[in-house]
Structure 1
Amino acid sequence: MAKAEIKMPEDFMLKVSKLAEKTDMIIPKVLEEGGNVVLDKVKDHLSAVIGSGTKEKSRSTGELERSLGLSPAMQNRDGNWDVKIGFAEPRSDGDSNAKIANILEYGRSGQPPKPFLKPAKSQSKNACIETMKTKLQEEVDGI
């Protein structure tokens, strides 16, 4: 059987080993950068749908918009890294921000849906990926 031996350049091997050591620092930065792109798009869409197309004057207090945020990057129980965009709880009136957002997104009897999450997700996907690629390249180049 033939045997082939390939030697990698020393500087490349050094970078790869440093990258492996710093993965736990790099991944959260990259994910949060991408998450902020999606968060901005969700905020824009949410602002556009709140109070639009209502028969009566809007009673919005702005609390739903203020409660929207991004979680820090963390590992889940499967060992995968993720960030989440969601609403802080509870509201000052005791109701749930997630419930109000769900009603807004999907509607209810007598209230048509005003989707803001799904369109924001699909519209920000490519920009999010590009932002994360750029951030990852910055982090790798900084090693």
Structure 2
Amino acid sequence: MAKCDMKMPEDFLLKISKLGSNFDSVADTVLQAGGEVVLKKVKSNLSSVIGRGTKFKSRTTGELEGALGLSPSKLNRDGNHDIKVGFAEPRSDGGSNAKLANILEYGKHGQPAKPFLKPAKTASRQECIDAMTKALDEEVEKL
């Protein structure tokens, strides 16, 4: 699964500190807004990669695309709020969606890599930041 760490500017951190006891609910809303942007881009990239450039007719069932989703926002062990874009497990055949996604992303012997996660992370970075900033401003205005 892809991981992204972002460092926050001081003015942003001051705005967050003003939220007080409403921080958790606002953080969930803001992370959800950013996660939706990234999820949309990952789904788009995944659907364009599946079945492309194969020697034989594609045997895709659509199960990998259907398993892609967004986790609920949670606190991690460091006390930071996290939201994850990933695959639900297991597949109907008992296999692993994460394994198939890894093979697509990095390839294997006889199968070239078809990256979809890393390009989505890069391409959606600014749009994600903008969506999260907009959602934060809306939540602060509500208070």
Q: Identify the TM-score tier after normalising by the shorter chain.
A: 0.7 to 0.9
- How has the CA–CA distance of structure 1 residues 46 and 17 changed in structure 2, closer, same or farther, with 3 Å as cutoff? closer
In 1, distance between residues paired with 2:33 and 2:71? Answer: 12
Q: Distance in 2 between matches of 1:125 and 1:16?
A: 20
SS at match of 1:86: strand
Distance 1:66 1:97 in 2: 10
Structure 2 unpaired stretches of 5+: 1-14
Which stretches of structure 1, 4 residues or more, deviate above 6 A after TM superposition? 15-18
Task: Please state if 1:28 is matched with 2:20.
Answer: no
State yes or no: 1:88 paired with 2:79.
no
Instruction: Indicate the residue corresponding to 1:10 in structure 2.
Output: none
2:142 corresponds in structure 1 to 142
Report the equivalent of 2:77.
Answer: 77
Deviation at residue 21 of structure 1 after TM alignment:
1.7
User: What is the CA deviation profile of residues 105-125 of structure 1, one whole-angstrom value per residue up to 9, with x for unaligned ones?
Assistant: 000000000000000000000
Question: How far has the Cα of 1:16 moved from its partner?
Answer: 8.7
How is 1:96-135 mapped onto 2 (pairs within 5 angstroms)? 96-135=96-135
Q: CA deviation at 1:17?
A: 8.6
TM-score, normalised relative to structure 1: 0.87
Say what the alpha-carbon RMSD is for the aligned residues.
Answer: 1.5
Distance 1:96 1:38, change over 3 A: same
TM-score by length of 2: 0.87
Q: Give, in whole Å, the separation in 2 of the partners of 1:119 and 1:112.
A: 16
Q: Which runs of 5+ in 1 are unaligned?
A: 1-14
Aligned mates of 1:134, 1:27 — CA distance in 2:
13
What amino acid does structure 1 have at the position aligned with 2:62?
G
Distance 1:17 1:59, change over 3 A: closer
Counterpart of 2:52 in structure 1 is 52
For the residues of structure 1 that align with 2:85 and 2:116, how far apart are their CA atoms? 13
Larger Rg: 1
Between the aligned residues of both structures, percent identity stands at 64
